Amino acid sequence: MRHFTDAFSERGSVRLQSSGANPVTAVRTLDVSHPEGHLLLVDSRSNDLKVADDDGQVRRTIGRYGRGPGEFTSLYDAVFLPDGRVLAVDAGNSRASVFEATGELVSDFAIRGQDPRSVVATGPSTVAIGGLLAPRRGFQNAAATYTLDGSRESAFLPADSLILRTNLVVDQVWVATLPENLLAISLSLTPELHLFSASGAHICTQAAGLPGWSQLLPPDEPVTSLPAARAWIESATLGSVMAFAQGRLYRHYGASGDGGTGWLAEYDIGLRLLAVYDSLPGHLVGSDDESLIFAGEETIEDIPVYMYVQQVEDGS
């Protein structure tokens, strides 16, 4: 275990205003446009997207709460497409929506039989969406690829049976893109990490344990109240956002309760575990080619966002 700042240096930071015009109320995930460096912020609390410049100033809001076209009721993730447009996935409406960079709705398609939780672009007109699909032939896949007209091209990664044994209480699926048209996929519930081709062909699984991981298991007694269910979940470790930067894949994980300890696992492109870091500057929310991006502790006034790059080791 290494201290995060022994291996990483802060490259920059911005402060997202939490009040006034276009306030940012929460940052679930973010994506970065190339080459402009604009930040696409998934504001899960207000159920909309914010586009901020590299100074943290919000330039536009995309979407709003609702069930109509271009609206969200449970916004989970969004990504810049290669042509600069934006695609967002909404679990409440079971829908993916495509917007122009200026915010106008272009099209949408229903995500039938899948609970969308995360999305990455895999090509000019294709995306991979993480989230459980309706069971077929006795098993349940956890990811699928789609074209922008809504056609599902493939479904893959049979979900760990633990998800079903715990009554879908934690069903988050995370996806990250790697070079050479590869996808890294993980379930929040388990420490395993899976490598697939962009078309859904399984390549390998990293099953090594992670330091500090306390596995959530089915309760001995049924959880009959919300406080009891919350206490049960908070006793466990859960995986979170994954991001690729400087040739390495990173996965945030930690205790799910308030104030719980967080760690960052570092992998090479073949999913070999290289290091684990503690004392993180915040919660991992995304990356660009060079930096890992963290959201710090929220205040009434703002949300700090930090960019960190890995230091060059002596002799390397």
CATH number where 54 lies: 2.120.10.30
Tokens of 306: 């930090």
Domain assignment present for residue 283? The answer is yes
Rounded CA separation 243/192 (Å): 16
- Side chain identity, residue 115: D
Q: Which of 20, 12, 66 is nearest to 39 (CA)?
A: 12
Share of the chain above pLDDT 70, in %: 97
Residue 223 is which amino acid? V
Average pLDDT, integer, range 74-89:
98
Number of domains in the chain: 1
- Residue 161, H or E segment: helix 161-165
Angle at 199 between CA 196 and CA 200, to 5 degrees: 45
Measured at the CA of 61, the angle between CA 11 and CA 130, to 5 degrees, comes to 75
Q: What is the dihedral of CA 130, 158, 232, 212, to 10 degrees?
A: -80
Which domain covers residue 49, as residue numbers? 2-310
Q: Is 97 within the bounds of a domain?
A: yes
The pair of three-digit structure tokens given for residue 197, joined into one six-digit string: 């081709």
pLDDT value of residue 138: 60
Q: DSSP states of 209-262 as a string?
A: --TT-------SS---SHHHHHHHHHTSEEEEEEEEETTEEEEEEEE-STT--E
Burial classification of residue 235, based on how many CB atoms lie within 10 Å of its CB (0-12 exposed, 13-18 middle, 19 or more buried): middle
Q: Using CB atoms within 10 A of its CB, is residue 221 exposed (0-12), middle (13-18) or buried (19+)?
A: exposed
Query: What confidence score (pLDDT) does residue 109 get?
Result: 97
288 versus 167: the higher-pLDDT residue is: 288
Using one digit for the tens of pLDDT, what is the confidence trace for 85-127?
Answer: 999 999 999 999 999 999 999 999 999 899 999 999 999 999 9
Name residues whose C-beta falls within 8 Å of residue 151's C-beta, 6 or more positions apart in sequence. none
pLDDT band at 315; cut points 50, 70, 90: low
Note the residue count of the chain. Answer: 316
Biggest CA–CA distance in the chain, Å, is: 57
What's the distance, CA 20 to chain centroid?
Answer: 27
Contact 41, 33 (CB under 8 A): no
Is position 288 within any domain? yes
Within-domain flag for 315: no
Phi/psi of residue 251, nearest 5 degrees: -135, 125
For 24-64, write each residue's pLDDT tens digit. 999 999 999 988 999 999 999 999 999 999 999 999 999 99
pLDDT of residue 135: 75
- Identity at 12, one-letter amino acid code: G
In this structure, of 2-6, 33-37, 122-126, 150-154, the range with the lowest mean pLDDT score is 33-37
